[in-house]
Structure 1
Amino acid sequence: MYSELPPTEAPDDGGVRFTVLGPLEVLRAGVDYAPTTPKVLQLLAVLVMRPGKMVHIDTLIQELWSYNPPRTVRTTLHTYVYHLRRCIDQNGLAADGEQLLATKQSGYTFYIDPSQVDTHRFFRLQQLGHEHQDAGNHAAAADAYRAALDLWSGPPLANVHCGPILSAYRTELLEQRRSVLHLRIEAEIVSGKHRELIGELRSLATGSPLDEALHGQLMRVLGRSGRRSDAMAVYRRLRSRLAGELGVEPCDDLQLLHRELISEGDHH
């Protein structure tokens, strides 16, 4: 179904894959070999975040100890790197742990290919969705976006204690997921699925009570399914919540949508 994605020119990676969109896992043949020591797992997460690129030692120190590193910080970091290499060697995840996780002058490089990390496929499918959407092929766009969302198994790096660097990365990934979800629903609305989306959008709007984009989508699918009064009720609830919690009015798009629903009623 996604033959538009060319096969990735993967190096000889021994079939090892890394998941970030959920718990951090190091998978080979369905078995997870991720280290269990929290700090070693955290170190691995930062390296996987920048596959094949040098990660500066200061970045690792900032992530692992925030702004309060121990006096023996470099020695401790070397120990964690040693444990990670041992995990790689003992589980046969690479021919040589020291070549895979190489020491550089000012940091470390984890020589994995970006295609070994699930985020790579997520962003490729997101891009494919954009291309289909630009070409006006909304059903194919929705399929690509749905495939991107299917890669998620939970909150990103769910099993990792995140310091400042990983917390920012996690926030960025969640924002990307929210954007793809919005685009998927948008593509489905444009391709004529209204009634099918009502339940999902109601539940999403309940979970994000101040998300105006989601409420706008819910209003539109209700309106197009002949449920104008329900759509207007959604608007009223959101409006009073925004006023009560943030002291603001709904955005212009939503106000326009609301006016359109009112005028449709006047025309009937």
Structure 2
Amino acid sequence: MDISVLGGLTVRENGVSITPTAPKPRQVLALLALRADQVVTVPTLTEELWGTAPPRSARATLQTYVLQLRELIGAALVRDPEGAAPRTAKDVLVTTPGGYLLHSSGGGHDVREFERLAGLGYRAMDAGDFQGAARQLREALSLWTGAALADVQTGTQLSPEEKRLEETRLCALDQRIDADLRLGRHRELLGELSVLVSRYPMHETLHGQFMLALHRSGRRTEALETYQRLRRSLIRELGLEPSAGLRRLQLSLLMAGPEAGQDAAVPARGGERAVRVG
């Protein structure tokens, strides 16, 4: 089984789509697919579908959705290779004492592959291998075709998963940009960062990276204007000033000439390294 959630939901068995078009069964499959090879309890599925006020018929309706998914799985199993051990839809979407489990049978899962590649990228960054880090993180990010679960309505279980996945994508993205900056690719990053700071108008790390890329490209005035736009957004929306790290970067740019300045750095998260101006 091949599972993709980093964009639209796509689940295939033997190359055949088992993704339903109806919203509720699609929601059930999305949660089972995100937690493939793990039991998802009936109360968890019920809460995802109906929140804290499920109808009296919730359990029977959930069983109907599972039956619909098994019909799609059964049609795909017809294409099992000759000589393979026979399987039924109940072997793939298993009823357990407390809920249901979707067997991936070792197939592809884009979230797991993203996390594997991103992990390799983070380790390469820690080792000072910026070329390798940029390559691994770029490959990880290429698995995303849009927002996670973009075509699935999300409830109390899927919404936090959606937010968690987006945060992991942003972390990988700012680390990949960090690696590219360390490799001197500031001019190549300008277009991408211009789009990103518009999309995330209060994301300090991305703004700091954009400021640094602009400065290194001889565009210090635009770098300082970027800081002021961010500051206005933070004060207007949150009543906060930029972080101390970003203020230090602004001060370093103010004091540095267009070709000078070795001390400023992009503010880093947690234990991440900062990126120097020069």
Normalised by the size of structure 2, how large is the TM-score?
0.86
Q: Which residue number in structure 2 is paired with residue 11 of structure 1?
A: none
Q: Which residue number in structure 2 is paired with residue 192 of structure 1?
A: 184
Equivalences, count:
253
Q: Which residue number in structure 1 is paired with residue 59 of structure 2?
A: 74
Shift of 1:115: 5.0
One-letter amino acid of the counterpart of residue 74, structure 1: R
Measure the CA separation in 2 of the matches of 1:163 and 1:267: 51
Give CA-to-partner distance per residue, 1:37-89, whole Å, 9 cap, x none.
22111111111111111111110110011112111221111111111111100
Q: Which residue number in structure 1 is paired with residue 43 of structure 2?
A: 58
Gapped regions of structure 1 (runs ≥ 5): 1-15
Q: The residue matched to 1:70 in structure 2 has which SS?
A: coil
Measure the CA separation in 1 of the matches of 2:72 and 2:234: 50
Q: Which residue number in structure 2 is paired with residue 100 of structure 1?
A: 92
Shift of 1:121: 0.4
In structure 2, which of residues 29, 38, 62 is the aligned counterpart of residue 44 of structure 1?
A: 29
Q: The residue matched to 1:91 in structure 2 has which SS?
A: helix
Q: Which residue number in structure 1 is paired with residue 276 of structure 2?
A: none
Percent identical pairs in the alignment equals 42
Matches within 5 A, 1:71-220: 71-92=56-77, 95-113=87-105, 116-220=108-212
Shift of 1:116: 2.3
Q: The residue matched to 1:18 in structure 2 has which SS?
A: strand
CA distance 1:239–1:114, shift in 2 (3 Å): farther
Give CA-to-partner distance per residue, 1:106-143, whole Å, 9 cap, x none.
11111214652110100001001012111111011011
Measure the CA separation in 1 of the matches of 2:3 and 2:229: 42
Gapped regions of structure 2 (runs ≥ 5): 81-86, 261-278
Normalised by the size of structure 1, how large is the TM-score?
0.89
More moved, 234-243 vs 99-108: 234-243
Shift of 1:241: 2.4
CA contact (8 A) 1:114 1:120 kept: no
- Kindly report the root-mean-square deviation, in angstroms, between the aligned alpha carbons of the 2 structures: 1.9
CA contact (8 A) 1:17 1:28 kept: yes
One-letter amino acid of the counterpart of residue 6, structure 2: L
One-letter amino acid of the counterpart of residue 32, structure 2: L
Q: Which residue number in structure 2 is paired with residue 18 of structure 1?
A: 3
Q: The residue matched to 1:249 in structure 2 has which SS?
A: coil
Measure the CA separation in 2 of the matches of 1:42 and 1:266: 53
CA contact (8 A) 1:216 1:254 kept: yes
Measure the CA separation in 2 of the matches of 1:158 and 1:150: 16
